[in-house]
């Protein structure tokens, strides 16, 4: 790395131009040409004073909607051969979604379960082999305790209610991240779900819970260090390939996502899969996760299929 | 004319623009080098038993080691990606936690 300083003083009088709302081509989302959406779906919604989600967000917690008996046909605009093998998703926007409706944040998280089931069902139907979902970051613990506690309960009930369906539909679940901070009951639920679904192979669902990209690299280095300590590895052999093998995504045959979808309007990675996302195609979507559905998922896949992929020089259409 | 500077100068000179030139070696390869450096240093300190203390491998230590191998820089606020792809193409991921990507 080389740093150079230019002997040109920066003008302190410069102010950034105001965003040009009349020119949509300047939008960071314009790259994706999303379909026009009805405003009523996201905004014009009656306020609810109760702490429960509105009827439109009511969930089927029996888990029956996970994959469904009849597979979803592939939309005409998508090509089966160009489907990504591994899709990663950052689910976001629950809080804003709830606030717009006068609901607590927990209602937003609750309403986010059904979109996840929809995406899982579509992945199963369309031959996507790995789906990694970022549900809880190592930074999320700084949120209000009541919100974190309700999230933990939601994870537990959702996983518990989905085990039978995952077994039936051939979905294998695997949870990555630092589980030491999770409640004991949730850890037990995770262990049970992983054990019950470990022989399934239709779709691998990787749930990143209390996960951080930097945490992952550090734990991989610790794992390598332990192998050095135990005499299983020589110092001279340590390179990026060795570290790669110790990352938490070693649980899958396809550790590198082809496509990353971020819902909720933010344009950053938020410490998710930092090492693994080097050549991943990004798709940022403004739709808050509770409103994310088949249409948005198809848009993301179509955008992915229209791009040329680069791997540090090589070009792949 | 340009002058080569170290990171300390680059970060604390608000009146001048700093250009940083990165390569693939500053990404994953640098993390591997930094980890290796930590292992080597730690083993030197424990020559007798050859014991490796796993607690020395924490995020701050890795940051420090990255600085020593010459690949530690500030986290950018904004990453602009040009071309037909929407990917960071191997930009040092250690520095991209909260970077806005456009």
Of A66-70, A141-145, A204-208, A300-304, least confident by mean pLDDT is: A66-70
**Active-site residue (options: A92, A216, A258, A299):** A92
Distance CA A134, CA A218 (A): 18
Q: Write the residue in B58, B83, B93 that is nearest to A275 by C-beta.
A: B93
- Tens digit of each residue's pLDDT (9 = 90 or more) over A245-293: 899 998 998 998 999 999 999 898 999 999 999 889 899 998 999 999 9
- Tens digit of each residue's pLDDT (9 = 90 or more) over B37-66: 887 877 676 554 555 566 666 788 888 898
Q: Predicted confidence band at A182 (pLDDT cuts at 50, 70, 90)? A: very high
Neighbouring-strand partners of residue A309: A316
With beta carbons under 8 A apart, name residues in chain B contacting A239: 29, 32
Name the DSSP letter for residue B27.
T
CB A104 within 8 A of CB A98: yes
- Tens digit of each residue's pLDDT (9 = 90 or more) over A26-38: 455 544 444 443 3
**Domains in chain A with CATH codes:** 78-212+255-307 (3.40.1180.10)
Predicted confidence (pLDDT) at residue A60 exceeds the cutoff of 70 = no
With beta carbons under 8 A apart, name residues in chain B contacting A235: 36, 39-40, 43
Apex CA A71: angle with CA A68 and CA A72, to 5°? 105
In 10 A of CB B89, how many CB atoms? 16
Provide the token pair at B25: 């070696």
Mutation target for A interface from B85, B91, B95: give the one with most A CBs within 10 A: B85
Tell the residue number behind the tokens 């050859």, with chain if given: B50
With beta carbons under 8 A apart, name residues in chain A contacting B17: 5-6, 8, 10
Q: How many residues make up chain B in this entry?
A: 102
Query: Where in chain B are the domains?
Result: 7-73
Percent of chain A exceeding pLDDT 70 equals 75
Distance CA A255, CA A176 (A): 12
Judged by a CB distance cut-off of 8 A, whether residue B62 touches chain A is: yes
Which residues touch A244 (CB under 8 Å, ≥6 apart)? A220, A255, A275, B28
User: Is A299 among the residues known to form the active site?
Assistant: no
Mind giving me the DSSP string for A181-248? Answer: GS-HHHHHHHHHHHHHHTT--SEEEEEEEEE-HHHHHHHHHHHHHHHHHTTSS-GGG-SHHHHHTTSG
Apex CA A173: angle with CA A138 and CA B90, to 5°? 55
pLDDT for the residue A184: 85
Of A169-178, A219-228, A303-312, least confident by mean pLDDT is: A303-312
Which residues touch A76 (CB under 8 Å, ≥6 apart)? none
Does A1 contact B22 at a Cβ distance shorter than 8 Å? yes
Of A33-47, A81-95, A287-301, least confident by mean pLDDT is: A33-47
pLDDT for the residue B55: 60
């Amino acid at each position: 790395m080389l740093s150079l300083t230019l002997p040109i003083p920066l003008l302190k009088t410069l102010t950034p131009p105001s965003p040009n709302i009349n020119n949509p081509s300047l939008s960071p989302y314009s790259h994706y040409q999303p379909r026009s959406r009805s405003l009523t779906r996201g905004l014009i919604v009656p306020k609810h004073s109760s702490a429960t989600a509105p009827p439109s967000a009511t969930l089927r917690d029996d888990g029956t909607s996970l994959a469904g008996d009849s597979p979803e046909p592939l939309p005409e605009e998508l090509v089966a051969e160009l489907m990504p093998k591994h899709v990663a998703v950052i689910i976001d926007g629950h809080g804003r979604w709830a606030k717009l409706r006068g609901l607590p944040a927990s209602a937003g998280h609750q309403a986010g379960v059904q979109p996840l089931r929809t995406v899982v069902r579509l992945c199963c139907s369309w031959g996507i082999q790995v789906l990694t979902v970022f549900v809880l970051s190592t930074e999320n613990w700084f949120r209000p305790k009541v919100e974190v506690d309700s999230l933990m309960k939601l994870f537990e009930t959702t996983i518990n209610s989905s085990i039978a369906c995952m077994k039936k539909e051939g979905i294998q679940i695997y949870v990555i991240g630092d589980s030491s901070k999770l409640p004991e009951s949730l850890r037990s639920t995770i262990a049970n779900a992983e054990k019950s679904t470990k022989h399934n192979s239709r779709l691998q669902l990787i749930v990143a819970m209390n996960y951080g990209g930097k945490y992952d690299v550090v734990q991989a280095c610790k794992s390598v260090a332990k192998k050095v300590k135990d005499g299983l590895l020589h110092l001279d052999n340590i390179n990026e390939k060795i570290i790669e093998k110790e990352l938490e995504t070693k649980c899958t045959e396809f550790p590198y996502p082809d496509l990353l979808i971020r819902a909720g309007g933010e344009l950053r990675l938020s410490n998710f899969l930092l090492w693994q996302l080097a050549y991943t195609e990004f798709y940022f979507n403004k739709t808050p996760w509770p409103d994310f559905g088949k249409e948005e998922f198809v848009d993301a896949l179509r955008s992915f299929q229209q791009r040329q992929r680069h791997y540090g020089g090589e070009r792949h259409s | 004319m340009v002058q080569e500077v170290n990171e300390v100068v680059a970060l604390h000179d608000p009146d001048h623009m700093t250009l940083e030139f990165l390569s693939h070696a500053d990404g994953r390869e640098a993390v591997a080098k930094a980890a290796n450096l930590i292992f080597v240093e730690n083993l030197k300190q424990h020559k007798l038993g050859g014991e490796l203390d796993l607690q020395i491998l924490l995020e701050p230590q890795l940051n420090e080691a990255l600085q020593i191998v010459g690949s530690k820089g500030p986290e950018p606020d904004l990453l602009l990606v040009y071309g037909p792809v929407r990917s960071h193409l191997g930009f040092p991921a250690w520095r991209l936690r909260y970077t806005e990507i456009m």
